[in-house]
Structure 1
Amino acid sequence: MASATSVIAWGSGEDGQLGLGTYEEKEWACVVEALDPFAVRSVVGGSRNSLAICDDGKLFTWGWNQRGTLGHPPEKKTESVPSLVKSLANVKITQAAIGGWHCLAVDDQGRAYAWGGNEYGQCGEEPSKDDSGRPVRRDIVIPKRCAPKLTVRQVAAGGTHSVVLTREGSVWTWGQPWPPGDIKQISVPVRVQGLENVRLIAVGAFHNLALKEDGTLWAWGNNEYGQLGTGDTQPRSHPIPVQGLDDLTLVDIAAGGWHSTALTEEGEVYAWGRGEHGRLGFGDNDKSSKMVPQKVNLLAGEDIIQVSCGGTHSVALTRDGRIFSFGRGDHGRLGYGRKVTTGQPLELPIDIPPPEGQFNHADEEEDGKWIAKFVACGGRHTLAIMEWKADQEEETE
């Protein structure tokens, strides 16, 4: 039974990442009932796992756990029901991120934590090496402090690297920021030069975005599909301005595995990077990669307030609480009740029961409707926070 605020999930469930107590995939939205007793404020989808942060700062994780990515000893390789990260129960977590096989979190005091795979130093510890100098797998199964000298506002995790934004507006990174073998990994935070007064960061598999207070968007990292938005496919080791956004007022950014999006104050979406499977939302016949940001005209007029990018799909949230999804459709990750791949953004059907006490048995009609408040794409699954909006009684004179 859904509560007045519920987390829903759909898509691949083979690692338990949907949190439904099973390992089945779902082609339509289902309620994560284990989270109903808690007031969830945000959710994050990883490649094979998920997490939720509650209003009181409690952190729940579920899904794939072979690398300790759930934040507690991996007694089971996978967990299909959300569980509390007990080692962080005494701090108030405000934001978190999931990378390739590691996680980051920050509390209300600006302290950052990391756990999971650390062979490239992505959790902030010097990784061990074998006799040939290659990194040796060493998992950190219990969250521990990282970047202890920084007061952190936001954390973001890539495939094998980590990025944090400080409260002062500077950006720091560590781990393996490029595909393994391309550059030497570092386990100690290094400041990203050329970035000050940053408001928001977003990180893909191996590329990074930073939105500055002055509204300019900067990018660096891998660029083989044009995901940096620089008009070419040349990688950048230092931030460079994203092209084609100069006259826009940006309010949010998101990075998928190999694609990027930016959201304007007017609720318009711009997308660029890898276009395969239609993840950019430009239509079924336009799945090519884009080297510079282009407006997603198929979402024009929808007043979008949030976009989330997954590995090969994307989800957009409207101001009035509707969800549009597009991209690769296998495993049901688009939530249409069928495994369709489409570059055409389609509105998600939400067919979940009303919360207890919100059903009018007299006329068998629901006394309200579900509206989405937050969306999060994972690798092959999707999460959303839904809120029940009761019908307002007509005013009587």
Structure 2
Amino acid sequence: MYTRLALAAECSINMASKPAVIAWGSGEDGQLGIGNNEEKEWVCTITALRNQNVSSVVAGSRNSLAICEDGKLFTWGWNQRGTLGHPPETKTENIPSQVKALATVKIVQAAIGGWHCLAVDDQGRAYAWGGNEYGQCGEEPERKEGRPVRRDIVIPQRCVPKLSVRQVAAGGTHSVVLTREGHVWTWGQPWPPGDIKQISTPVRVQGLDSVKVIAVGAFHNLALLNDGTLMAWGNNEYGQLGTGDTQPRSQPIPVQGLSDLNLVDIAAGGWHSTALTDDGEVYGWGRGEHGRLGFGDDKSSKMVPQRVQLLVGEVIVQISCGGTHSVALTQDGRMYSFGRGDHGRLGYGRKLTTGHPAEVPINIPPLSDEGRWCATLVACGGRHTLAIAEWRKSEQPL
């Protein structure tokens, strides 16, 4: 079975060197973490994280975070709503800094929403910070004349304290967590503001048990069950629920056309969705504008999942979906990007918008005369991408 974790075994890694955290795309809010606010059309290294053993990265719409093996959490980028987890003394920060409020716990997973963040530690405790006017941080929002008032939570605080959390996921203005028991809970504004009243206190999503992993887009949600069934609910204007229509669903419904496949992972972009099979094939559906689905065109939306034929022949172990682009990671550590190309978000030096997956070259200094950089994880944001790469030594010619 191929998953994103299989890559470590496939690549022979030089463990004497720390992984490199790399980035490309828009840097206008400092989200690349390279010490300036320039955009990069090619891969560059986040040197401030060079001495950290980074195990995971997350890219948001305008900010970023990294989690280290020892549980330290670093954030950078847009900070006007307190999304970096410390008082917003500056509007943006272009160098990663540790979130001191979480320094005494070991963070193992995190998520970035529209303008709020979630994290979970190794004890199953969840934390939230950033914008909270829709209750997305798990705290009752303040109101004035019946309307929510902007309130930012700039220091991470506990949320859903009664739940033992395994995974957190963040949408545009809502939050979703997966508990260690396999249940799903949600709160905040799960629909575009104004459509449906927000959920002020966490509620359990009915009809979901034995959930393996969750993924959340701007206003839609996916849940992969242990038996391989994929469920979806939420906004559906572009068919991102995969139900064959564009009707929204307030309760989970099975995604069509995937029942005969052995799914191992899922991902959700702003308005599109993907699923990964155990033999490394990718299925995509939802909004197709700018070619973010990888079907070769730049506009076709799909209301039911379809196999991404342009990736057939590659064994994909992870796919990440951003606002308008996607990146697929292969078993041997290569990355293929597709979708909207302005601001360098595709990572290969051209601003061409394309639905044809093309390889992202990892053109950073080599560690020796033999070998190459091998990507192990990728994270797409609104207009930028982050990845982790480790040096691969091979006795065979590359």
Tell me the TM-score normalised to structure 2 length: 0.95
Equivalence map 1:27-106=2 (5 Å): 27-106=41-120
Report the equivalent of 1:174.
187
Describe the SS at the equivalent of 2:343.
helix
8 Å contact kept, 2:319–2:328? yes
- Within 2, Cα distance between the matches of 1:332 and 1:340? 9
**1:301: how far off?**
1.2
What is the deviation of 1:368?
Answer: 1.3
Query: Which residue among 372, 375, 393 is the counterpart of 1:372?
Result: 375
Aligned residue number for residue 347 of structure 1: 359
Q: Residue 236 of structure 2 corresponds to which residue in structure 1? A: 223
Q: 2:136 aligns with which of 122, 147, 170?
A: 122
Give the TM-score, by structure 1 length: 0.95
Q: Distance in 2 between matches of 1:380 and 1:187?
A: 30
Q: 1:239 maps to what in 2?
A: 252
**Separation (CA, whole Å) in 2 of partners of 1:372 and 1:340:** 23
Cα distance, 1:303 vs structure 2: 0.3
Q: Deviations over 1:40-91 (max 9, x none)?
A: 0000000000000000000000000000000000000000000000000110
More divergent stretch after superposition (320-329 vs 178-187): 178-187
Which residue does the alignment assign to 1:143? 156
**Residue identity matched to 1:308:** S
- Which secondary structure state, in structure 2, belongs to the residue aligned with residue 37 of structure 1? coil
Task: Tell me the C-alpha RMSD between the 2 structures.
Answer: 1.1
Q: Is the 8 A contact 2:243 2:304 kept in 1?
A: yes
Within 1, Cα distance between the matches of 2:179 and 2:87? 30
Question: What's 1:282 paired with?
Answer: 295
| Aligned counterpart, 1:307 | 319
Report the alpha carbon displacement of residue 187 of structure 1 after superposing the two structures with TM: 2.5
The separation in 2 between residues aligned to 1:105 and 1:287, in whole angstroms, is 35
| SS of equivalent to 1:374 | strand
Whole-angstrom distance in 2 between the partners of 1:82 and 1:390 = 29
Moved over 2 A (4+): 390-394
Contact 2:18 2:53 in 1 (8 A): no
Whether 2:336 is the aligned partner of 1:333: answer no
Could you tell me how far 1:391 is from its partner in structure 2? 3.7
Question: What is the aligned partner in structure 1 of residue 334 from structure 2?
Answer: 322
Corresponding residue number in structure 1 for 2:206: 193
- The superposition leaves residues 285-315 of structure 1 with CA deviations (integer Å, 9 ceiling, x where unpaired) of x521100000000000100000000000000
Partner of 1:26: 40
> Is residue 18–residue 52 contact of structure 2 (8 Å, CA) maintained in 1?
no
Structure 1 residue 5: Cα displacement: 1.2
Number of residue pairs matched by the alignment? 381
Question: Could you tell me which residue of structure 1 aligns to residue 13 of structure 2?
Answer: none
Q: Percent identity of the aligned residues?
A: 80
How far, CA to CA, are the matches of 1:390 and 1:199 in structure 2?
Answer: 34
User: How many Å separate the matches in 2 of 1:4 and 1:302?
Assistant: 27
Q: Structure 1, residues 82-124: CA drift from partner, whole Å, max 9, x if none?
A: 0000000110000000000000000000000000000000000
Q: Which has the larger radius of gyration?
A: 1
Q: What does residue 363 of structure 1 align with?
A: none
Cα distance between partner residues in 2 of 1:184 and 1:204:
19
Instruction: Give the match's secondary structure for 1:87.
Output: helix
Alignment deviations for residues 176-218 of structure 1 (CA, whole Å, 9 cap, x no partner): 0000011111231100000000000000000000000000000
What runs of 5+ residues in structure 1 fail to find an aligned partner? 359-365
CA contact (8 A) 2:87 2:155 kept: yes
CA distance in 1, matches of 2:199, 2:182: 22
Task: Give the unaligned 5+ runs of structure 2.
Answer: 1-16
2:219 touches 2:235 (CA, 8 Å); kept in 1? yes
Q: Distance in 2 between matches of 1:171 and 1:112?
A: 14
Deviation at 1:392, TM superposition (A): 4.0
